[in-house]
Chains A and B, each alone.
Chain A
Amino acid sequence: MTPVVALIFGMLGLGAVLAMIRLALGPSLLDRVVATDTILVIVTAGLAVHAAVNRDPTVVPVLVVVALLVFVGAISVARYVGGMLLRTGADVEELGVSPAAEQVQGHEGTERP
């Protein structure tokens, strides 16, 4: 059974590495939020796989904490970015905007308060 377990952990690790590449590359803050969500979910999955493979229930409460952390982290960063949108209005360049935003003309409002 060891090759199957190695395959499971390999797929989890490769997914986490790819999400970390997106976390490093991500042109905007929201890309990084989505990548962080995915990384934390993969961490949850890895802990659960470890618990299931070794029949070790001691890491199971950690799953609840990490699942809570995913929600609170993403919601707070999303609220923070929305607050920046309200506060500053027009400066989309400071957060790093995706190329898709350059196709949108006049979406963000043009005047700065």
Chain B
Amino acid sequence: MNDVESLADWIALACLLTGAFLCLTAGVGLLRFPDVLSRMHAGTKPQVMGVLLIMVGGAIRLSGWSATWMLLLVAVFQLITAPVNAHMVSRIAYRRGHVGRDSLFVDELGVAPRGAEVTAGEEGRRGDQPADAPIGDETEPQVDEDDGAGDQAVDEPAREPRG
């Protein structure tokens, strides 16, 4: 950084420094935390906050609107994809049992019957069920056959025997 003279450059430098510090904490947390969910908690810190800070710093430093819009695109893309990413990884982690049960205060999925996804896999049905899907089989083919209707119309008869 050879030309830091204005206040905006110092602000950009502070943003870059904070984002880099978040990346360092992600590495430390990944190495020290015990199970997958807490490692995700540490590892997704730079995915949102660190990337946002570094993109703000880069947008301040870089001149020209094309670079600014592209950095904004990266930031918005991270904001959209990070929850999806974390949801899928943590759901699979819960199903595979990579969760320390003694460190949980509330386990809302623990009241669901076990093995629903295993029985569905044996019968060759839907590949990706909700994590709290019941074992009971009588509602599942009805969900699969209603392809023409919308999602609410499909989900609504399946949810009623579940409760």
Chain A interface residues (CB < 8 Å from chain B): 1-2, 4-5, 7-9, 11-12, 14-19, 21-22, 28, 30-31, 33-35, 37-38, 41-42, 44-45, 48-49, 51-55, 57, 60-61, 63-64, 67-68, 70-71, 74-75, 78-79, 81-83, 85-87, 89-90, 92, 95, 97-98, 100-101, 103-104, 106-109, 113
When distances are taken between beta carbons in the complex, the residues of chain B under 8 Å from A19 are 26-27, 30-31, 43
What are 16 contact pairs spanning A and B, CB under 8 A?
Answer: A18-B24, A30-B98, A33-B89, A35-B39, A37-B44, A44-B74, A45-B19, A48-B54, A51-B61, A67-B81, A71-B85, A74-B89, A85-B118, A92-B96, A97-B98, A98-B98
A11 to B20, CA, bound (A): 6
Interface residues of B, CB < 8 Å — how many?
73
When distances are taken between beta carbons in the complex, the residues of chain A under 8 Å from B34 are 100
A75, B43: Cβ atoms under 8 Å? Answer: no
Interface of chain A, main secondary structure:
helix
Count of inter-chain pairs, beta carbons less than 8 A = 242
A109 to B121, CA, bound (A): 12
Partner of B102, one of A21, A54, A83, A103: A103
Given A85-B92, A92-B96, A100-B34, A109–B115 Cβ distance below 8 Å?
Answer: yes
A19 to B120, CA, bound (A): 35
When distances are taken between beta carbons in the complex, the residues of chain A under 8 Å from B46 are 15, 38, 41-42, 45
When distances are taken between beta carbons in the complex, the residues of chain A under 8 Å from B30 are 18-19, 22, 34-35, 38
When distances are taken between beta carbons in the complex, the residues of chain B under 8 Å from A18 are 24, 27-28, 30-31
